[in-house]
C-alpha cells in the first residue's frame, strides 16, 4: 500500500488527512475512515493501511483541523488524566453535525477526484466519536454514501437530542452496519432498540450487532483493544463494502 499525507480544501480551511492506496491496478472504491475522539494518529493510519489492503482507497481526516495545530492525545492515558480528558471533551464539542456534513462533502469530493478511485458512492466507517460521525454523514449526504459503518459509536440514538443520527434515518440510502460494545453507556440497550426501530421503519438495509468486547475494541492503542473483536470488525467491513461498493 502507498500512504500520502494530503490536504483537503474545505469550506472552513484545509484539513490535513492521511490517504492510503492499495497496491496494484485500480481504480478502487473510496472510503472515509473517521477516527475516534483522540483523533488522527499512528493507530488509525495503521487501520487505514489494513483497509487499503482489502482494496479500498482510504482517507483518514483530521476532524479537528479548525484547531490545528493541536497537541496529540495519548489514547492510553487521556481518560485517566483529568486535564487531558477535559481538553479532549472540549475539542470534541467544537465539531457539530453541520460541520461533519460540510466536511464530508469535501472529503468525498476529494476521493472521487482521485484517479485511483472509481468515483462512485463511497463508504464511511468510524470509531467511537467517528462512529457517530459516520452515521450523521449517511443521514445528510444521501446517495453519495453507499455504505456506512459504526464501531463502538456513541450517541447514535438519543431520544431527547435534536441532533441524534436516528432522527435522519429516513434520509439514509446507504447500507448500514453498527457494532456496539458490551457495558457501553454511550450506546445502551435502549439506544440500540431505538436505532433498530428507526432504521427498520425507514426501510434502511442494516444490521446492528453487539460484540462481546468493551468500548474501543477495534483501535490498537486503546486499553480495551480486543484482537478477536477487531478481526471480526475487519470481516464485517469487507462483507459490507464488498456487497455495496465493489
Cα separation, 182 vs 116, whole angstroms: 38
Output the domain CATH number for residue 29.
Answer: 3.40.50.1820
Long-range contacts formed by 67-72: CB under 8 A, 24+ apart = 67/91, 67/94, 68/16, 70/39, 72/38, 72/39, 72/41
The arithmetic mean of pLDDT across residues 36-51, rounded, is 97
Q: Quote the domain boundaries for residue 192.
A: 2-244
Give residue 7's pLDDT band: very low, low, confident or very high (50, 70, 90): very high
Q: What is the pLDDT of residue 184?
A: 97
* Statement: residue 168 has pLDDT above 90: yes
Structure confidence at residue 49 (pLDDT): 98
State the Cα–Cα distance between residues 222 and 217, nearest whole angstrom: 7
Rounded (10°) angle between helices 42-53 and 227-244? 50
pLDDT band for 124, please (50, 70, 90 cuts): very high
Quote the pLDDT of residue 246: 79
Per DSSP, the three-state class of 167 is helix
Contact 134, 100 (CB under 8 A): no
Average pLDDT on 99-128 reads: 97
Q: What is the mean pLDDT of residues 123-151?
A: 98
Average pLDDT (55-83) is 95
C-alpha–C-alpha distance, residues 164 and 157, integer Å: 6
Q: Do residues 111 and 122 lie in contact, with contact meaning Cβ atoms separated by under 8 Å?
A: yes
pLDDT at 71 over 90: yes
- Hey, what's the cell of 124? 464511511
Mean pLDDT value of segment 50-58: 98
Q: What is the mean pLDDT of the chain?
A: 97
pLDDT of res. 214:
98
Domain count, the chain: 1
Contact criterion met (CB below 8 Å) for 50 and 44: no
Strands 175-180 and 145-151 turn out to be parallel
| Predicted confidence band of residue 153 (pLDDT cuts 50, 70, 90) | very high
> Kind and range of the H or E element at 237?
helix 227-244
Count helices and strands in the chain by DSSP H and E runs: 6, 8
- Which pLDDT value is given to residue 4? 96
pLDDT tier for residue 1 given thresholds of 50, 70 and 90: confident
Q: For residue 212, what are the contacts with CB-CB under 8 A and spacing of at least 6?
A: 182, 229
User: Strands 13-21 and 57-61: what pairing?
Assistant: antiparallel
The 3-state DSSP class for residue 60 equals: strand
Percent of the chain whose predicted confidence (pLDDT) is above 90: 98
Question: Quick one: pLDDT at residue 198?
Answer: 98
User: What share of the chain has pLDDT > 70, as a percent?
Assistant: 100
Q: Is the pLDDT of residue 27 over 90?
A: yes
- Asked whether residue 215 carries a pLDDT value surpassing 90, the answer given is yes
User: What is the average per-residue pLDDT within 123-149?
Assistant: 98
Does residue 58 contact residue 48 with C-beta atoms inside 8 Å? yes
Amino acid at each position: 500500500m502507498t500512504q500520502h499525507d494530503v490536504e483537503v480544501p474545505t469550506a472552513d480551511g484545509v484539513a490535513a488527512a492521511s490517504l492510503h492506496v492499495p497496491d496494484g491496478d485500480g481504480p478502487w472504491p473510496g472510503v472515509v475512515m473517521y477516527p475516534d475522539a483522540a483523533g488522527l494518529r499512528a493507530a488509525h493510519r495503521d487501520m487505514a493501511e489494513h483497509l487499503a489492503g482489502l482494496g479500498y482507497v482510504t482517507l483518514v481526516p483530521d476532524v479537528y483541523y479548525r484547531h490545528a495545530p493541536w497537541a496529540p492525545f495519548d489514547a492510553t492515558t487521556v481518560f485517566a488524566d483529568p486535564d487531558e480528558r477535559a481538553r479532549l471533551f472540549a475539542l470534541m464539542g467544537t465539531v457539530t453535525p453541520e460541520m461533519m456534513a460540510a466536511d464530508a462533502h469535501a472529503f468525498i469530493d476529494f476521493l472521487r477526484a482521485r484517479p485511483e478511485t472509481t468515483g462512485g458512492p463511497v463508504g464511511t466507517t468510524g470509531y467511537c466519536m467517528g462512529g457517530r460521525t459516520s452515521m450523521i454523514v449517511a443521514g445528510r449526504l444521501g446517495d453519495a454514501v453507499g455504505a456506512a459503518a459504526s464501531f463502538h459509536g456513541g450517541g447514535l440514538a438519543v431520544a431527547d437530542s435534536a441532533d441524534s443520527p436516528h432522527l435522519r434515518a429516513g434520509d439514509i440510502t446507504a447500507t448500514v452496519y453498527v457494532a456496539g460494545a458490551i457495558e457501553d453507556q454511550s450506546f445502551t440497550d435502549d439506544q440500540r432498540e431505538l436505532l433498530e426501530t428507526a432504521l427498520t421503519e425507514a426501510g434502511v438495509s442494516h444490521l446492528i450487532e453487539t460484540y462481546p468486547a468493551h468500548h474501543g475494541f477495534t483501535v490498537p492503542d486503546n486499553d480495551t483493544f480486543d484482537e478477536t473483536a477487531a478481526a471480526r470488525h475487519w470481516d464485517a467491513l469487507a462483507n459490507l463494502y464488498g456487497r455495496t461498493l465493489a
